Amino acid sequence: MTEPSPLFETYARADIAFDHGEGSWIVDTRGERYLDFGGGIAVSALGHAHPHLVETLREQAGKLWHTSNLYEVPEQRRLARRLVEATFADKVFFTNSGAEAMECAIKTARRYHYADGHPERFRIITFEGAFHGRTLATIAAGGQPKYIEGFGPKVEGFDQVPFDDLDALKAAITGETAAILIEPIQGEGGIRPVPLQFLRDLRTVCDEEGLLLIFDEIQCGMGRTGKLFAHEWAGIEPDIMAVAKAIGGGFPMGACLATEEAAKGMIPGVHGTTYGGNPLAMAVGNAVLDVMLADGFLEGVRDKALRLKQGLASIADRHPYVIEEVRGEGLMLGLKCVVPNTALVKELYANHMLTVPAGDNVVRILPPLTSTDEDIRIALERIEKAAASLSSGHGGR
Ligand SMILES: *Cc1c(COP(=O)(O)O)cnc(C)c1O
């Protein structure tokens, strides 16, 4: 791709283009097969061309794509009902992306306090290393200077505190605080799981202070940790939750879930979307849930995760000059690197395997939840090989 690109130059793209995929495998335009353990950034949770998703999409494509939310969308109601039954939530708003699900979550929290007679309570506490999207409000929520710089005044109302520091969090709460927003496992920040006790402490603080607890499960949710949502491991529930990425298995969609109480300010006319929840997206979303809610699916994720994590830990032991630590939960794993993370990602490209770099010098391993034992075996083999070639010269094997 040497001719000038007509695209915005916002991405430094690898010089690979893909043509088709099947399961955990994806084939480039030259016919080379890659093991896809990046999943298009935790999106392709059921791998590529999953037969049930393909069949559902084909069938719906021939029937009806779009009607808008001016009318009832039965598949939207059905998907919302299923999400409500599977979670803490009573209410769902469907969006086209993660950032829009986050925007809805932020608006819902602010509107709750407004409806409660406290319009002054609009500020949201977030955490260092967070990522919540690329809209103007969500870059302010994420608080990363590199995403905020040059885009005019930062959207007001976000206060950032250090990761896993309860005293700092408590000190940041004022009479204007509306909510606390956190990713139960930071994704872009470098696969940093929030200690489960800290999540429980946040629930307690929110209850004591009358704040709403918002979870961003856009990356860590939808089965990735071996439960439908990552916060379930802590045994507590949020008031509001943003979901996206895996929810459509590659079809662009997201959702904001809330309790009835938390959603009480979201009355007719205050929020909307043209595409969100359209029949095509909802058909696919329901098909994704068919697979994820099937008996034994999440248990299978936990089994595979254990094997993958153990394998990665022993690779890290053998190649301490390349990989410092394996972190993460379920099939959301990170290799904290000693070498630059991009060097390992590139070496894995050379070994025909896709992974994704993240903050804190981490390489993300985000396999399809449908990966087979054989896929995992091959992944470990390729990571070992890549680590070995980056080790050479450091006395690694
Ligand atoms: C990807 C991501 C987002 C943004 O989702 P988009 O679909 O890219 O808008 C927000 N929060 C988290 C935790 C994410 O991983």
* DSSP result, 178-215: EEEEE-SEESTTTSEEPPHHHHHHHHHHHHHHTPEEEE
* Cα–Cα distance, 230 to 206 (Å, whole number): 19
- Backbone dihedral angles phi then psi of residue 373, each to the nearest 5 degrees: -60, -40
How would residue 381 be classed by pLDDT, with cut points 50, 70 and 90? very high
What is the pLDDT, as a whole number, of residue 392? Answer: 85
- Name the residue of 10, 41, 103, 131 whose CB sits within 8 Å of the most ligand 1 atoms, as the mutation to test its pocket: 131
Is residue 288 over pLDDT 50?
A: yes
Q: Is the CB of 131 under 6 A from ligand 1?
A: yes
What is the number of the ligand 1 atom nearest to the C-alpha of 99?
9
Is residue 192 over pLDDT 80?
A: yes
What is the number of the ligand 1 atom nearest to the C-alpha of 252?
7
Give tens-digit pLDDT for 138-149: 999 999 999 999
Give tens-digit pLDDT for 193-230: 999 999 999 999 999 999 999 999 999 999 999 999 99
What is the number of the ligand 1 atom nearest to the C-alpha of 245?
7
> Distance from the CA of 249 to the center of ligand 1, in angstroms?
14
* Cα–Cα distance, 48 to 54 (Å, whole number): 9
DSSP 231: G
How would residue 123 be classed by pLDDT, with cut points 50, 70 and 90? very high
How would residue 3 be classed by pLDDT, with cut points 50, 70 and 90? confident
> Distance from the CA of 96 to the center of ligand 1, in angstroms?
11
Q: Residue with the nearest Cα to atom 15 of ligand 1? A: 219
Is residue 32 over pLDDT 80?
A: yes
* Cα–Cα distance, 396 to 232 (Å, whole number): 39
Q: Is the CB of 216 under 6 A from ligand 1?
A: yes
Question: What are the Cα distances from residue 370, in Å, to 40, 115, 297, 302, 366?
Answer: 15, 43, 9, 11, 11
Is residue 386 over pLDDT 70?
A: yes
**Percent of the chain's residues with pLDDT above 90:** 97
187 HSE (CA, 13 A, CB side): 25
> Distance from the CA of 171 to the center of ligand 1, in angstroms?
28
Question: What are the Cα distances from residue 219, in Å, to 16, 45, 48, 185, 192?
Answer: 24, 11, 18, 8, 12
Q: Is the CB of 226 under 6 A from ligand 1?
A: no
Q: Is the CB of 218 under 6 A from ligand 1?
A: yes
* Cα–Cα distance, 302 to 318 (Å, whole number): 25
What is the pLDDT, as a whole number, of residue 166? Answer: 97
Q: What is the residue type of 79? A: L
Q: Is the CB of 183 under 6 A from ligand 1?
A: yes
Scored b (16 or more CB within 10 A) or e, 107-116 reads bbbbbbbbee
Q: What is the residue type of 18? A: F
Q: What is the mean pLDDT of residues 145-173?
A: 97
Characterise 123 by phi-psi region: left (phi > 0), alpha (psi -120 to 50), beta (else).
Answer: beta
The 3-class secondary structure across 299-311, one letter per residue, is: HHHHHHHHHHHHH
* Cα–Cα distance, 206 to 210 (Å, whole number): 6
Is residue 320 over pLDDT 80?
A: yes
- Name the residue of 43, 95, 126, 132 whose CB sits within 8 Å of the most ligand 1 atoms, as the mutation to test its pocket: 132
Domains of the chain: 18-49+295-394 (3.90.1150.10), 64-292 (3.40.640.10)
Q: Average model confidence (pLDDT) for the chain?
A: 97
Residue with tokens 């949020």, as numbered in its chain: 238
What is the number of the ligand 1 atom nearest to the C-alpha of 254?
7
Is residue 394 over pLDDT 80?
A: no
* Cα–Cα distance, 200 to 298 (Å, whole number): 23
Q: What is the mean pLDDT of residues 12-24?
A: 96
Is residue 364 over pLDDT 80?
A: yes
Q: Is the CB of 97 under 6 A from ligand 1?
A: yes
How would residue 396 be classed by pLDDT, with cut points 50, 70 and 90? very low
Residue 101 token pair: 């699900």
Q: Is the CB of 255 under 6 A from ligand 1?
A: no
What is the number of the ligand 1 atom nearest to the C-alpha of 244?
7
Q: Residue with the nearest Cα to atom 11 of ligand 1? A: 132
Is residue 296 over pLDDT 50?
A: yes
Question: What are the Cα distances from residue 285, in Å, to 59, 227, 293?
Answer: 14, 18, 12
Question: Is residue 383 a contact partner of residue 354, using CB atoms and an 8 Å limit?
Answer: no
Q: Is the CB of 219 under 6 A from ligand 1?
A: yes
What is the pLDDT, as a whole number, of residue 94? Answer: 98
- Vertex 11: Cα angle to 8 and 16 (nearest 5): 110
> Distance from the CA of 132 to the center of ligand 1, in angstroms?
6
What is the pLDDT, as a whole number, of residue 393? Answer: 66
* Cα–Cα distance, 240 to 106 (Å, whole number): 9
Q: Is the CB of 133 under 6 A from ligand 1?
A: yes
What is the pLDDT, as a whole number, of residue 389? Answer: 97
- Name the residue of 96, 185, 188, 273 whose CB sits within 8 Å of the most ligand 1 atoms, as the mutation to test its pocket: 188
* Cα–Cα distance, 244 to 99 (Å, whole number): 9
356: nearest Cα among 8, 58, 14, 47 = 14
Decide: residue 1, CB within 10 A, 0-12 exposed, 13-18 middle, 19+ buried.
exposed
- Backbone dihedral angles phi then psi of residue 127, each to the nearest 5 degrees: -125, 145
| Per-state percent for the chain, helix, strand, coil, to nearest 5 | 40, 20, 40
How would residue 395 be classed by pLDDT, with cut points 50, 70 and 90? low
What is the pLDDT, as a whole number, of residue 207? Answer: 98
What is the number of the ligand 1 atom nearest to the C-alpha of 217?
13
